[in-house]
Amino acid sequence: MKELVVISGKGGTGKTSIVASFAALAKNKVLADCDVDAADLHLVLEPDIEYTEDFSGGKQAKIITEKCNRCGRCYEVCRFEAVKRTPDQNEAENVDYRIDPVSCEGCGVCVRACSVNAIAFEPAINGQWFRSQTRCGPMVHARLGIAEENSGKLVSLVRNEARKIAEEQGLEMVIIDGSPGIGCPVIASITGADMVLVVTEPTQSGQHDLQRVVELTRHFGIKTMVCINKWDLNAKMAGKIEDQVRQEGVAMAGNVRYDNAFTQSQINKLSVVEYTDNGVADDIRKLWENVFQALNS
């Protein structure tokens, strides 16, 4: 079983549209949407959810009012200012303490500081993950709660569940829609993968972010290929990026021309290759052939 991760140095490069087209073109695969902070593959693939489970990425503190003697120790030790005091004055009487769940980082310092065990420390529900069926095959995806973090853990969970499905059903491939950037969620989505396809665009920021992503994949020793999406919007910059990619010893997987079909297919809840048969669909088919060949070589 092979794992392909499609990532981009920045958002808005068309990464998810390309993954949706790969989903339509690839056979015997499971899909994993690891872009959990801004998941949108489901908008195109319209999954039928078969299984849902809560995700807990950490713990959260909560004061048990009946046990609290209002000593204020938790207020003093919390460096995230998550313990709130009411009134917020130096009044000894009628003071009350509570923990703001949005600000609490789950470090547990207040729990240890409280001498009367008046702080509960329970797993926090940070989101949900799903096992689904789509017209392009099984898919694992997730939804992180608003302002929730720990997305690296959720990415690992989604990836592991997709691998399990591939093993159970004897599927040959896991195609992963990774997060943009180079942070923890991206690292969680690429470590140990067989291959990474980086989707970039012909702009200065696209070139800069590509450089950072390629350094990251090199650090983890993962086979990497690059695709320049909308290359013809700035052919000169696209040429510069190709040169840079080759100098880095990385292979080009192919370029995709600009076409309004990217937008129209999304509006129609289809991948580009399902929506049209024109030149842009040819570009993506060639791109997939090159990626598939490299993945299996």
- Whole-angstrom distance, CA of residue 238 vs CA of residue 220: 26
Q: Which amino acid is it at 83?
A: V
Give pairs for 276-283: CB < 8 Å, separation 24+: 280/256, 281/21, 283/254, 283/255, 283/256, 283/257
- Whole-angstrom distance, CA of residue 232 vs CA of residue 239: 10
Report yes or no: 82 and 142 within 8 Å, Cβ to Cβ. no
- Whole-angstrom distance, CA of residue 270 vs CA of residue 157: 27
Q: How far is the CB of 150 from ligand SF4 (least distance, A)?
A: 14
Number of residues that bind ligand SF4 (CB under 6 A): 27
Tell whether residue 70 is a contact of ligand SF4 (CB under 6 A).
Answer: yes
Q: Which stretch binds ligand SF4 (CB under 6 A): 78-86, 142-150, 156-164, 229-237?
A: 78-86
Write out the binding residues for ligand SF4, residues 79-98 only, by CB under 6 A.
Answer: 80, 82-83, 97
> Among residues 11 and 108, whose Cβ is nearest to ligand SF4?
108
> Among residues 41 and 104, whose Cβ is nearest to ligand SF4?
104
> Smallest Cα–Cα separation from 59: which of 108, 144, 128, 123?
123
Binding mask 102-141 for ligand SF4 (x = CB under 6 A): --xxxxxxx--xx-x-xx----------------------
Q: How far is the CB of 122 from ligand SF4 (least distance, A)?
A: 11
Q: Which residues bind ligand SF4 (CB under 6 A)?
A: 61, 63, 68-74, 78, 80, 82-83, 97, 99, 104-110, 113-114, 116, 118-119
